[in-house]
Amino acid sequence: MLLLKLAFRNITHAGVRTWLNIIVLSFAFVLIVLTEGLYDGMLQQVRDAEIDSNIGGGQFWQKDYDPYNPFSIELSHSEIPANLKMEIEKGNATAVLITSASIFPRNHIQSVQFKGIDPDQKIVNLPVYILKNETDSSIIPGIIGSRMAKSTGLQADDIVSARWRNINGTFDAGDIKIIKVINTEVKSIDNDQIWIPLKKLRDMMQAPQQATLIILNKNISEIPINNSEWIFKDHKYLLKYLNENIDRKRIYSTFMFVLLIGMALLAVFDTQVLAIFKRRKEIGTLMALGMTKWDVIVLYTLEGCIMGILSFIAGFLYGFPLLTYLAKKGIVLPQIIENTQFSILRILYPKYGLKLYVLTSLILFISVTIVSFLPTHRITKLKPSDALKGKLT
Amino acid sequence: MGDSQIIQISNLVKDYAMGKQFFRALHDVNLSINTGEFCGLVGPSGSGKTTLLNIIGALDNPTGGDIIIMNNSIKDLKNKQAAKLRNESIGFIFQTYNLLPVYTVFENVEFPLLLLKKSKKEREEAVMRALEWVGLSDKVNSRPNQLSGGESQRVAVARAMVKLPRIVLADEPTANLDAANSHNILQTMLKLNLELKTTFIFATHDEKVIRYLRRKVALSDGNVINDIIMN
Ligand SMILES: Nc1ncnc2c1ncn2[C@@H]1O[C@H](COP(=O)(O)OP(=O)(O)OP(=O)(O)O)[C@@H](O)[C@H]1O
Ligand SMILES: [Mg+2]
């Protein structure tokens, strides 16, 4: 208790150096929370976007459908079971028909997927209603994502030739008019695919009533069906790849975390080593006045701890309003691309859980304590008489 | 000597390691000091004054022999016990004052009482009394860097005396002071010695100090070569 009081007195009476340290530490604290929060926020946004614009509340897959096997795709469609049809009519789900096809932009051949979707659907957040703008029924309207636009050189209003097979395996060909290029961070609705009105694609494939997958409304997580043709895939399954990807990327944020903590700790360590070097005589004096070596060690370690605590308080004082503001307003990423209606990650909203605060504080606090303690260990080897002479052996 | 004896030094030897060799700083010192003495270890530089004073103050360990100080055998003291002994019974005064730079005058003088866990009221009274002894009542809120050398050493005297220790050990307390300040400090200490029966032991080669001593223990190359008691 006395030592705590003395440590506090030492810290508050000491000069600029302490306050500098406190500022550095508080910066680290705020920055760590911010970077981690940005990361969490981004991941959350990516996940939400994926759910929002692609997987909904879960999907029923036609049993042969395997998104990673292009050869399966032409074969993987069936008639929609009656109860799912009912859910679609009730607005609780929407059907997607998928087939592989080739397009010929700039006289090259490129493999793509056609995805047929109801332009009136409200299940996933895709601006497919725009497909209805094309009134000429002889034209096949299509929507592509910006990645696809980049890789093919296609732009809105371009016409591209396409070739596909109908349900009987016979080739058919036609022109697709690109109605719109959409910006999306969700790769799985962008890469190598063209969104086409479902009815149109069914006609093209001569496959009425058929679908490859049924996307459920976000708020519905399961519909029992009794049909071996269709298999339900839940979030856990559908987000598996994304989650794995995210976990891999976590390493970067962990690296950042370690780097920031390391920098902060170096500052503390440095001051502490210097302080003990400079304060040898003081250490000797304290011992002459009746403190034990351990008293001095505890005193100096406590000084480090208090520095840590003060930096949390400082960090909280300016960090909390700042971080809250950023979480509300979001951080606008520099490469602003036009047509932001459906671009999700142009603005990043950091998200900080209590866990983040507590964990960061705890880790920082413990490491500051350890780092404050380590250099004081030399004191145990110090004889009071030597310390008084300014020696440090 | 009997019951008034406060320090008994017998066959004290101190070796310092010098690489592989040893340097013998004290050779078989025998000395007995009584309560209330105002005595000094005198001798040329390097004669072992500081070494002996440090061992008396339990700041350093003897190589051989022992010191019995208020019934404590120095060589048997653990770190913690040595700290307790210093805390309760010994005041130190150093050549370089050794005030704690971040503390005010008041806080510096108060420090030993904090370690002794005295109440706030006790501390305040004792600090103000000690500052009065040294004539610095008006400097309570100054910081060490705002004080002259003489004032700093007076604060150090107040800090050593504030807990009314049985023994005060002062190593070259006047080395950095001019004549006027030296006399001032010594007169203060002499007064406290007479009033409080505090035992003072100096280590010094300063003539100004030596004139005040009632006992001079002359050291040379780690040996006591003379021991003069005045009356
Ligand atoms: N830590 C040490 N290691 C090695 N030798 C030391 C150490 N401390 C003191 N000595 C040596 O011991 C001898 C006595 O030193 P001491 O400091 O006791 O002398 P002193 O009488 O106090 O001298 P001064 O008047 O200069 O203060 C000196 O020769 C010194 O070099
Ligand atoms: Mg000396």
pLDDT tens, position by position, A183-229: 877 777 888 899 999 999 999 999 898 999 999 998 887 788 888 88
Q: How far apart are CA B222 and CA B160, in angstroms?
A: 27
The answer to whether the CB atoms of B115 and A282 lie below 8 A apart is no
In a mutational test of the A interface, the residue from B16, B54, B80 whose CB has the highest number of chain A CBs within 10 Å is B54
Q: Is residue A109 part of a domain?
A: yes
Q: Of A233, A263, A289, which residue constitutes the final position of a domain?
A: A233
The ipTM assigned to this model is 0.94
Q: What is the pLDDT of residues B189-221, one digit of tens each?
A: 999 999 999 999 999 999 999 999 999 999 999
Q: DSSP secondary-structure letter at B231?
A: -
The reply to whether A66 and A214 lie within a common domain is: yes
Neighbours of ion ligand 2 (CB under 5 A): B 50
Contact B84 A13 (CB under 8 A): no
Q: How far apart are the first and last CA of chain A?
A: 30
Q: Are residues A327 and A372 in the same domain?
A: yes
The predicted structure's pLDDT at residue B132: 93
Q: Is A181 left (phi over 0), alpha (psi -120 to 50) or beta?
A: beta
pLDDT digits (tens, 9 = 90+) for B154-185: 999 999 999 999 999 999 999 888 899 899 88
CA distance A302 to A305: 5
Question: Which of A233, A261, A283 represents a domain boundary (last residue)?
Answer: A233
Residues of B in contact with A278 (CB under 8 A): none
What is the sign, positive or negative, of the torsion defined by CA atoms of B64, B70, B71, B72?
negative
Closest CA to B80 of B35, B33, B115: B115
Give yes or no: residues A163 and A212 share one domain: yes
Distance in Å, CA B177 to ligand 1 centroid: 22
Q: Which of A233, A266, A300 is the last residue of a domain?
A: A233
- Pairwise CB contact (< 8 Å): B96 & A10: no
Q: Could you tell me the CATH superfamily of domain B38-61+78-229?
A: P-loop containing nucleotide triphosphate hydrolases (3.40.50.300)
My answer on whether A95 and A115 are in the same domain is: yes
CB of A17 within 8 Å of any CB in chain B? no
**Based on the structure, what is the number of domains in chain A?**
2
Higher pLDDT, A349 or A313: A313
Identify the residues whose C-beta falls under 6 Å from ligand 1: B 16, 18, 23, 25, 45-51, 203, 205
Cα–Cα distance, B74 to B69 (Å, whole number): 7
Angle between helices B105-115 and A2-13 (to 10 degrees): 160
Residues A134 and A154 in one domain: yes
Nearest CA-CA partner of A159 in A138, A140, A176, A179: A176
Instruction: Give the length of chain A.
Output: 393
Backbone angles phi, psi at B58, to 5 degrees: 60, 30
Query: b/e string for A38-77 if b means 16 or more Cβ within 10 A?
Result: bbbbbbebbbebbbbbbbbbbbbbbebbeeeeeeebbebb
User: Is A155 in the same domain as A67?
Assistant: yes
Confidence category of residue A172, pLDDT binned at 50, 70, 90: very high
Distance, CA of A73 to CA of A201 (rounded, Å): 14
DSSP string computed for A174-219: EEEEEEEEE--S-GGGTTTEEEEEHHHHHHHHT-TTEESEEEEPTT
What domain range is A333 assigned to?
2-51+242-388
* Residue B206: per-residue pLDDT: 93
- How many CB atoms are closer than 10 A to CB A247? 10
Do residue A86 and residue A179 come from a single domain?
yes
Residues A122, A71 within the same domain: yes
Q: Are residues A317 and A369 in the same domain?
A: yes
- Record the pTM: 0.75
Between A252 and A164, where is the model more confident? A164
One domain, residues A277 and A359? yes
Residue A393 falls within a domain, yes or no? no
Are both A331 and A367 inside the same structural domain?
yes
pLDDT in tens, A332-377: 765 544 333 334 456 778 888 888 888 888 888 888 888 888 888 8
Pair A143, A188 in one domain: yes
Domain ranges of chain B: 38-61+78-229
Partner residue facing A384 (CB), from B59, B84, B115: B59
Q: Check if A246 contacts B (Cβ < 8 Å).
A: no
